[in-house]
Structure 1
Amino acid sequence: MPPTQAESVIRSIIREIGQECAAHGEIVSETLIAFMVKAVVLDPSNGFNMDRTLMKSDVQNLVKLCMTRLLDTKNPSLDTIKMQVYFDMNYTNRVEFLEEHHRVLESRLGSVTREITDNRACAKEELESLYRKIISYVLLRSGLGSPTDIKTVREVTAALQSIFPQAELGTFLTLSKKDKERQLKELTMIVTGIRLFNRDCGKGGEGIDDLPAVLHVAIPATMQHIDYQLETARSQVYRYTAILEKAANDPHMRAELQPYMLKEALYNIRQYEVFLQIILSDIITGAQEVEMMTKQLGAHLEQLKMTIKSKTAVPTSQVFPIFIALSTLWTSLQDETIVVGVLSNLFTHIQPFLGAHELYFPERAMQRHLNGATVKTDVCRMKEHMEDRVNVADFRKLEWLFPETTANFDKLLIQYRGFCAYTFAATDGLLLPGNPAIGILKYKEKYYTFNSKDAAYSFAENPEHYIDIVREKAKKNTELIQLLELHQQFETLIPYSQMRDADKHYIKPITKCESSTQTDTHILPPTIVRSYEWNEWELRRKAIKLANLHQKVTHSVQTDLSHLRRENCSQVYPPKDTSTQSMREDSTGVPRPQIYLAGLRGGKSEITDEVKVNLTRAVDET
């Protein structure tokens, strides 16, 4: 059958089942119907062949089976499936939820943003109208107050005029569309920071709730409520488990109790416990974020007070970044408020899917079955076998992981959500938590834990056998596919939340690391005899030397005078350079020669008469 035709057939089946359920007064979502159709087809007891085309009789039978299961109001399995579908369609992790929330806010502000960025105001009235739109945009984007509240509008207007007076609208209109949008966001953050600072100083903050105080009350209250419900659910789980363990050894009790119904109730309450843990984990993360942001908010406000003090004017480069930081923190606090509200709402809406446990198993009947049974908590079960560890030497072809040999031991993705695979397969569906301290079995790149050493050894003898049993059990009870995280084995039933993370790689154990060793050159003490000599001529030379030494005698003589002698030393003054100076200085000089020549040129006759005159004075005349 072509894919388009098959899709059309499935849609018609879903539509028909929905109409039949509505006719019986039961409103069922298409998502739940689609899940139920796949679950019925997977169940081998229904006889559907996945490899052949569905005939008309097959479709009628499929519709009938789905109707029977969807209209069964006393079926814990259906309640569990409804809970899983509702949680899957309404839960997203914090990051994705906040991204979607911001995307929705942007889309809602899109029309207001376009009215501002596409405006071509020229007249005075048009500019005033544009300025009012900017004020409304700032209020809507910040979420601090209503645009219809006059006091809030006045406060925002005053804050905006202090940083963006109406006279600057002309410059604003000349900007490009992207620059306008960026400036609008920046103005919103600065105005928000100013209002938060004024509120802290007691001079404004109209319409601004005290989010830190609200969250500090709401988060602990929500956590306390979830903790209480979680403990109640766990108590119910422990009681159901104790009764099932007792019934496994008592055939009469097993016939009276209908264990399959109790196991479905156990799956229901276990799934509820898992969802509560997810919600509680997100709320704890939010509480940590709120505590950190509250400290940062107080630090920024204190920094602003120290910067501004009583000054009439402060450089914008000093205060604007702090205002923007204040706005960012406050937006994060608003996000946390929304997240807490959504998680609290989700927690409230999954409670009805617990089913009527009191109706199925009244308290009086439960107490009667619990007589003689030991109710153990998951922690107690782990402590009982904490010292029992798998001996790796017993398994040559299987790899076992332990905390001391695996760096990321706590981050490994354990199969079946950490429940013991052997116990589940051997007891036809009893869920007992595995104990990683016993050892984690690595089999075909997957990791399994067990509640006892014997269970680990039994599973390790034939893992495929027990894995097949778990798979077949999940086909009959489709709620186990999500509870035990068997989505890879049933790809047609992968929930939406798992499909978003399909590209996420599983964490592999880090059991190897770089290391170095050093070995001594000689571990044992050296036995080398350094005096050994193999050359006989060398030995002969040494022998002659020793013989000669035996014939030598050393003599020493000392007299009465010699023993008193000692080394002497003397000290002298070294010669030094000396000079003398007379009382006066004297000198002698010789006369300076003065000789003149005349008649060399300038005469009237052609013949020149040279005349030489020596005017040098005599020596004795000087």
Structure 2
Amino acid sequence: MEDNLKRIVAETTRLCRERGQKVDPFVAAYVASLEDARGSLDVPGVRLDSKLSAESVAAIGKQIAGILLRGADPRLKTAMMQVLMEAAYKQQRELVEKETTEQQERAGMLQRAITGPRALKGNSADAYDRFYKLVLEAVCVEAGMEAAVQDQAANAEVRAALESVFPVSGVARFLTLSEAERLAQLSELARIATGICLYNRSLGQGGAALPAAAASYLPQAHRLLRDINRCCSDVSEQLVRLHAMVSQLPPPPAADDKETAAASAAAGEEERRRALLHAEVLNRGQALQLYESLKADLQEGLDAAQQLDTELEHTILQVHDAVGGSSAVGKEVVYPLFDRLGALHTGLHQELRMLVVRQRLYDELSGLSALPPNSVLLPSTPSSTESGASKRSTAVGTSTAADALAEQLSETTLAGLDALENGSRAASGDGAADAGGSGGLEYIRPTSPSQLQPGLALAGFCAGTLARRPTGRYPLLRRANPRLGYLAYQDKVYGFATNADMQAFLADPAGCLAEVDGAVRREPLLARPLGLPPPRTTADVHAVLQAMSGTLKVDFGCQTPVHFLERNMDKDYEWNVWALRRRALALANLRDKATHSAQTAESHFKRENETQVWRPRDATVQTRVSKGQSMPRKLQYVAGLRGAPDVKMNVVRLELELGQPHQH
């Protein structure tokens, strides 16, 4: 089966990729297993647990790809919800197991280092200090206080708590113990040190090494519980609306009715709508079952966490009373309390981790349980919203009135129940209680008019409605009515939606359950919401996930033309890769080269050198008037140095005004 599933999923993935559709391998494998359980494979006489030929794999892969491409199909959405939620559960479980395994491996490695024959290396003070640090790390890891390994402040806090119980001077005596005794002492030290840290945190001193307290997780868990309750109410309301729509459908025509072509087409359209409504009922029923299962799991974990937290707070109060204002208290008084605190904290921490896991599962379920895109519950157009709302209100009102009448047990049913209570096998007039088929039946009176009794068979869905199929050939999921009470049969308790359903089960419980099994064989998707085993082992979700856990290989290829017709021809195109390599190497070598030249006297005259210059331009400017101006020239000389005897010497000063404007 595993090899066949992988081959089919590989072929389906290839076909969907060619159409641009991304598919989940788990979904493809689960859809193939469901089609095999229905006997609806396109290859007749072929099963997944037998050897398949390549042609069969190709045909089945094409069929599954066609189903997966119908993304709005409610049945496909239901299958996705079932397999992907189970995959999410498996993933979260593996993550928790991985974290736990890593912590245990690390703690085991430290324990072996401490309890080994050569744990203490040397006899010096440094050797004892290193050994004590190793014990401290082992205590932190085993107690879940990994933050104290890296954080200095948290490490100092845990060390102070450990030294109050196990001082460094006690290492020598600790080494004289056997390996089993050392392991027991380590576990006890981890619990007591954790209890001391919890007590210090209650006093407002320290607590940095401890994980977050329950007070930070529980409000989030209560908010998650409210969200799940709201989702359960919304899905239940959607189921009521769908049941009202189903009840408005006309009864299916008899097999021997002669119809015209128009009537046959109308009947075909009505049959498609009937199938769509029943598929959406199945989708909403699966969503409701998953929400209720998650709600019960969360409620159980929340109750356990609250109980552990309450007991933890009570133990802390006991420690406060024991310590009081005393400066010294005997260890035989407080050590058991600290040990109890550490054990309670470990259990509470595990429960709080699971609350985080349930939050992730709720986020996953919220996305998977959304209504299909073309659901009849979604408003199609604004104009049709009001008319659709009025029709829905009328249908819901009619269905509510019918349910109110059905909630009242008839005289025949009451007589049959009285006969059961009295231990009588007498049958009523219309066969409400069959002496041969009602053996082992027991009536259980309702304890709450609004809440179903926990632990009901078929996950609280009505067995009578599934067996009677009052709306046609499609099985209908309907929640049991808590006001009618319950019937216990073969160590299981069944609930019923209407008086007619309880009458049918009273008449023949074994026949009703056989009809339920037949409905599951015809529609394997019913097995998960009803809590029943699948009709075939190949349709089991766990088997599908196990088969698809390995590596999946997909053959994928593309086609190209042999000769490309290209208009833009590149003349320099080189097809030979080795020639391209040679060209690349040559270009790479050029980057390291340089051009050098030298000039000599002989080469200078052999060169043809030319120089071009611009000659100065001759330019004159002529004006109408030429004017000039100069400063007067001052001259001074001595006269009378020569000449007649009567000539006297004197100094002559002259100012020559030559070239002045007035002289022109």
TM-score when normalising by structure 1 = 0.69
Q: 2:38, 2:522 within 8 Å by CA — same for their partners in 1?
A: yes
In structure 2, do the counterparts of structure 1 residues 415 and 157 end up closer, same or farther at CA, with 3 Å as the change threshold? closer
> 2:66 — aligned with what?
68
Q: Which of 269, 288, 293 is 1:255 aligned to? A: 269
Alignment of 1:145-156 (within 5 A): 145-156=147-158
1:360 and 1:59 map into 2 onto residues whose CA distance is: 33
2:122 and 2:405 map into 1 onto residues whose CA distance is: 79
Q: Which of 278, 287, 293 is 2:308 aligned to? A: 293
> 1:398 — aligned with what?
437
1:289 and 1:416 map into 2 onto residues whose CA distance is: 23
Task: Report the Cα offset of residue 190 of structure 1.
Answer: 0.7
Matched, 1:315 2:330: yes
> 1:122 — aligned with what?
122
Task: Report the Cα offset of residue 89 of structure 1.
Answer: 3.3
* Structure 1 counterpart of 2:243, one-letter code: T
Moved more, 283-292 or 189-198: 283-292
Task: Report the Cα offset of residue 397 of structure 1.
Answer: 1.1
Task: Report the Cα offset of residue 30 of structure 1.
Answer: 4.4
Task: Report the Cα offset of residue 320 of structure 1.
Answer: 0.8
Matched, 1:268 2:283: yes
> 1:194 — aligned with what?
196
Alignment of 1:333-352 (within 5 A): 333-352=348-367
Task: Report the Cα offset of residue 289 of structure 1.
Answer: 2.3
2:31 and 2:53 map into 1 onto residues whose CA distance is: 19
1:237 and 1:64 map into 2 onto residues whose CA distance is: 34
In structure 2, do the counterparts of structure 1 residues 155 and 253 end up closer, same or farther at CA, with 3 Å as the change threshold? farther
In structure 2, do the counterparts of structure 1 residues 293 and 455 end up closer, same or farther at CA, with 3 Å as the change threshold? closer
2:321 and 2:179 map into 1 onto residues whose CA distance is: 37
Matched, 1:49 2:45: yes
Q: 2:87, 2:545 within 8 Å by CA — same for their partners in 1?
A: no
Alignment of 1:96-175 (within 5 A): 102-103=100-101, 105-118=103-116, 119-124=119-124, 125-144=126-145, 145-175=147-177
Q: 1:402, 1:437 within 8 Å by CA — same for their partners in 2?
A: no
Task: Report the Cα offset of residue 78 of structure 1.
Answer: 1.7
Secondary structure of the equivalent of 1:426?
A: coil
In structure 2, do the counterparts of structure 1 residues 270 and 412 end up closer, same or farther at CA, with 3 Å as the change threshold? closer
In structure 2, do the counterparts of structure 1 residues 445 and 179 end up closer, same or farther at CA, with 3 Å as the change threshold? closer
Q: 1:418, 1:449 within 8 Å by CA — same for their partners in 2?
A: yes
Secondary structure of the equivalent of 1:258?
A: helix
Task: Report the Cα offset of residue 396 of structure 1.
Answer: 1.8
1:28 and 1:182 map into 2 onto residues whose CA distance is: 52
In structure 2, do the counterparts of structure 1 residues 301 and 417 end up closer, same or farther at CA, with 3 Å as the change threshold? closer
In structure 2, do the counterparts of structure 1 residues 420 and 499 end up closer, same or farther at CA, with 3 Å as the change threshold? farther
CA displacement 1:216-262 (0-9 Å, x = unmatched)? 31222111111122211211111111111112459979936723223
> 1:577 — aligned with what?
none
Q: Which of 426, 430, 433 is 2:479 aligned to? A: 433
> 2:597 — aligned with what?
none
CA displacement 1:44-73 (0-9 Å, x = unmatched)? 343643577544433222111222223321
Task: Report the Cα offset of residue 174 of structure 1.
Answer: 3.6
Task: Report the Cα offset of residue 193 of structure 1.
Answer: 0.6
> 2:457 — aligned with what?
414
Moved more, 218-227 or 53-62: 53-62
* Structure 2 counterpart of 1:482, one-letter code: R
Q: 2:466, 2:516 within 8 Å by CA — same for their partners in 1?
A: no
* Structure 1 counterpart of 2:203, one-letter code: C
> 1:553 — aligned with what?
none
* Structure 2 counterpart of 1:414, one-letter code: A
Q: 1:441, 1:448 within 8 Å by CA — same for their partners in 2?
A: yes
Secondary structure of the equivalent of 1:147?
A: helix
Aligned residues: 493
2:240 and 2:403 map into 1 onto residues whose CA distance is: 11
Q: Which of 532, 536, 552 is 1:486 aligned to? A: 532
1:436 and 1:397 map into 2 onto residues whose CA distance is: 27
Moved more, 298-307 or 365-374: 365-374
2:252 and 2:152 map into 1 onto residues whose CA distance is: 75
Alignment of 1:531-570 (within 5 A): none
Secondary structure of the equivalent of 1:140?
A: helix
> 1:618 — aligned with what?
none
In structure 2, do the counterparts of structure 1 residues 45 and 206 end up closer, same or farther at CA, with 3 Å as the change threshold? closer
* Structure 1 counterpart of 2:68, one-letter code: L
TM-score when normalising by structure 2 = 0.65
2:158 and 2:85 map into 1 onto residues whose CA distance is: 41
Matched, 1:216 2:212: no
Matched, 1:89 2:87: yes
2:319 and 2:71 map into 1 onto residues whose CA distance is: 62
1:172 and 1:240 map into 2 onto residues whose CA distance is: 71
1:66 and 1:95 map into 2 onto residues whose CA distance is: 29
Alignment of 1:427-576 (within 5 A): 427=471, 428-435=474-481, 449-458=495-504, 470-471=516-517, 473-475=519-521, 477-487=523-533, 489-496=535-542
1:448 and 1:189 map into 2 onto residues whose CA distance is: 47
Alignment of 1:358-397 (within 5 A): 359-361=374-376, 362-363=378-379, 364=384, 366-367=388-389, 369-370=391-392, 372-375=394-397, 381=403, 384-388=406-410, 389=413, 391-392=415-416, 393-394=427-428, 395-397=434-436
1:379 and 1:352 map into 2 onto residues whose CA distance is: 34
1:59 and 1:401 map into 2 onto residues whose CA distance is: 51
In structure 2, do the counterparts of structure 1 residues 182 and 274 end up closer, same or farther at CA, with 3 Å as the change threshold? same
Task: Report the Cα offset of residue 401 of structure 1.
Answer: 2.2
Bigger relative contact order, structure 1 or 2, given CA contacts below 8 A and separation 6+? 2
Task: Report the Cα offset of residue 354 of structure 1.
Answer: 2.1
Task: Report the Cα offset of residue 297 of structure 1.
Answer: 1.9
For the aligned residues, what is the CA RMSD? Answer: 4.0
Secondary structure of the equivalent of 1:402?
A: strand
**Gap regions ≥5 residues in structure 1:** 1-5, 501-622
